[in-house]
Amino acid sequence: MPGSGARGLDVGVLYWGPTGHGIEVFPGRVDLTGRLEDKVAIVTGGASGIGRAICQRFGSEGAKVAVADRNIVGAEETLAQMGANSDTAMAIDVNISNASQVERMVEQVVAQYGKVDILVNGAAILIRTPDLVDVDEIIWGLDYGDKC
């Protein structure tokens, strides 16, 4: 079973990109330090919780990180906790339900760092909803829109 026994933690990496997709499995303890060196990541929902933790980890692994959130104060707190400067990370005020704001976000990241390699969409709220076929626009907007 992965993660058990004397080998330590098995690590699996799922990747999907323009050159293909697949899964890499690294049995036992693996040092992943620096695997994200020279990569640029956008993390939506990076102002708190799991999004913040992802930003911190990506930064510690060498990635340049765009902390994107509609809570700009929280995004800036994430930067402070990362010990980041403008060469390594940036905070972006964005509501991902607004397409023009998302376009602006990507443009800002590309202008600052030249590219985007990784996108983590951590911005959303989840509420109990009926079956997907019965979900109306109001509930969809609450889960993924400007209400989250």
- Per residue in 33-45, pLDDT (tens digit) is 778 999 999 999 9
- Per residue in 3-28, pLDDT (tens digit) is 444 334 455 666 666 676 766 666 66
Mean pLDDT of the chain: 81
For residues 6 and 115, give the distance between their C-alpha atoms in angstroms, rounded to a whole number.
Answer: 40
The CATH class of the 33-123 domain is alpha beta
For residues 7 and 73, give the distance between their C-alpha atoms in angstroms, rounded to a whole number.
Answer: 42
Provide the residue-wise pLDDT of the chain in tens; the chain has 148 residues: 344 443 344 556 666 666 767 666 666 666 667 789 999 999 999 999 999 999 999 999 999 999 999 999 999 999 999 999 999 999 999 999 888 999 999 999 999 999 999 999 988 766 666 665 666 665 566 555 554 4
Domain boundaries, the chain: 1-30, 33-123
For residues 53 and 44, give the distance between their C-alpha atoms in angstroms, rounded to a whole number.
Answer: 12
pTM (predicted TM-score): 0.69
